[in-house]
Structure 1
Amino acid sequence: MARNAYGWLYDKIYSFKDYAHEAALIREIIHSRNPGASSLLDVACGTGKHLDYLKAYYQVVGTDLDEGQLEEARKRHPDVAFYQADMRDFDLGQRFDAVTCLFSAIGHTGGVEGLGRAVASMARHLEPGGVLLIEPWLSPEVWQNGRPHAVFVDEPELKVVRMNTSRQEGRQSVLEFHYLLARPQGVEYFTEELRLFLFTHEEYMDAFRQAGLSVEFDPQGLTGRGLYVGLRS
């Protein structure tokens, strides 16, 4: 599957997410640590759904590696600057009062070195007193091999089934998604493989500290996966 061709499908698959609630929690966390925050960078912003709500309070910018998702984000927010960038090594030439990296996108950094590079890159984009929020992927002790999953989309002109079972290769979790997509013009089948690294709690904490940030961990976070909150002095 060429992911860029199906950027529009992402929001259909994840329509269950309560972006308004998550954005309200994000704003509360930022405000409690940096009440004067007025700018925000969303790293791995996807189609820009969190920015639907956050841009009412901040001057926002987004980055993502997937051009297909950025295309959808630009359609949704023509007034927002979006950049294609790898979170492990990017430089926008500006700093922000808050930086977010949500929905476990940090798991795509490939390993402990990549995690450190990504957190350091995000930290470099913080103003003094700036806040970094990273929503982690699952930890090794929580990950379950061989568990089946399915998501369904049922609209008058669109039917989608996405199924997968989970497996582990070394420290990587592997999700091989199988899609059936039905539209008036016909039925398509395609696959997509995602690999997300299973970082430990200490590896996250160390990455923040090595980037020069103080850090705390909220085990509940936005969606139950936890949230790491860093602060630049």
Structure 2
Amino acid sequence: MSHWKAYEELAWTEFIISSLDDYEEEASAIIQSLDIKTGADTGSFKPDLLHFGCGAGGHDYYFKQAFDVTGVDISHGMLQNAQKINPEVTYLYGDMRSVTIGKSFDAVVFPESLMYMTTVDDIRQALQNAAAHLKPHGKILVTVHTKEEFQPHNFAYAGEKDGVHVTLFENNYIVSETAYEAAMVYLIRNKKGLEIHHDVHTVGLFPYGVWTGLFSKLNLDFKEWHMAHLYDRNILDEGDYPQTYFVCTKKE
């Protein structure tokens, strides 16, 4: 697995260049699309949700209002962020393709994390592991960029906290038939001066038919929905940032 500075030694910048508010719309839409009766609906128990690739915990801040959340990530820096803002959530270090939690869940979700799988076999392993953790009638949610809808873009994020100013520039560029690169440059200004860091992430990029074909092979029914405006304020060029959301259930 690659070493990503953005998710390890630079993970502390996450909630300087973004805020919890940035996660609310998507997290709320995901909760609604799962259509599982939650504690807020019943006034009693909360269903169990497993979040593979939980990152800094921004989605979980909203998921935990409706679910008992368990988060899994392979980046220690992001897990530290997540635990700080969600002390009541269970966080575990692990690989989504192989980790075993030891319990079953009403939902397993991959918001913007499964795309880090760069081969079809890696995706298959992660989906199989998700299905293995589902309760009967449980649901899997996957967020993807399909190759047909993907648009390369430049992005900018910035913020300041306690005298530390952070600016992040990101360039997305298709580098092969099945991948794009997210190249990032961080400008960090503090009392000591300017620090410049860079990081490059290779991200999988597969056609719509690859995703639906995998669901079929894994005996999963699916419904889909779309969002394209979540990053409008960060995109520096023309166009939008379309994402496809699949909600999958095991076939009867």
Q: For 1:206, which of 213, 222, 228 is the aligned residue?
A: 213
**Mapped pair 1:123 → 2:131:** yes
Q: Which residues of 2 match residues 33-72 of structure 1 at below 5 A?
A: 34-35=36-37, 38-72=47-81
SS of aligned partner of 2:146: coil
Letter of the structure 1 residue corresponding to residue 120 of structure 2: V
- In structure 1, what is the equivalent of residue 19 of structure 2? 15
Distance in 2 of aligned mates of 1:135 and 1:201? 12
Q: Is the 8 A contact 2:16 2:160 kept in 1?
A: no
- In structure 1, what is the equivalent of residue 235 of structure 2? none
Q: Is the 8 A contact 2:74 2:93 kept in 1?
A: yes
Distance in 1 of aligned mates of 2:51 and 2:87? 16
- In structure 2, what is the equivalent of residue 230 of structure 1? 248
Identity %: 24
Instruction: Give the CA deviation at 1:222.
Output: 9.0
- In structure 2, what is the equivalent of residue 77 of structure 1? 86
* Change beyond 3 A, Cα 1:156–1:196: same
Distance in 2 of aligned mates of 1:187 and 1:221? 34
SS of aligned partner of 2:31: helix
Segment drifting more, 88-97 vs 149-158: 149-158
Q: Deviations for 1:104-125, whole angstroms, at most 9, x for unmatched residues?
A: 2111111111111111111111
SS of aligned partner of 2:227: coil
Q: Is the 8 A contact 1:45 1:62 kept in 2?
A: yes
SS of aligned partner of 1:8: helix
Q: Is the 8 A contact 1:120 1:208 kept in 2?
A: no
- In structure 2, what is the equivalent of residue 194 of structure 1? 201
TM-score by length of 2: 0.82
**Mapped pair 1:157 → 2:166:** no
Alignment gaps of 5+ in structure 2 = 39-45, 231-241
Q: Deviations for 1:180-229, whole angstroms, at most 9, x for unmatched residues?
A: 11122332111111111111111111222222221122133894412011
Q: Is the 8 A contact 1:25 1:222 kept in 2?
A: no
SS of aligned partner of 2:96: coil
Letter of the structure 1 residue corresponding to residue 245 of structure 2: L
RMSD of aligned C-alpha atoms? Answer: 2.3
SS of aligned partner of 2:71: strand
TM-score by length of 1: 0.88
Instruction: Give the CA deviation at 1:156.
Output: 6.1
Alignment gaps of 5+ in structure 1 = none
Q: Is the 8 A contact 1:44 1:105 kept in 2?
A: yes
Q: Which residues of 2 match residues 174-193 of structure 1 at below 5 A?
A: 174-193=181-200
SS of aligned partner of 2:243: coil
* Change beyond 3 A, Cα 1:221–1:81: farther
SS of aligned partner of 1:110: coil
Q: Deviations for 1:107-148, whole angstroms, at most 9, x for unmatched residues?
A: 111111111111111111110110111111x22233345x43
- In structure 2, what is the equivalent of residue 114 of structure 1? 122
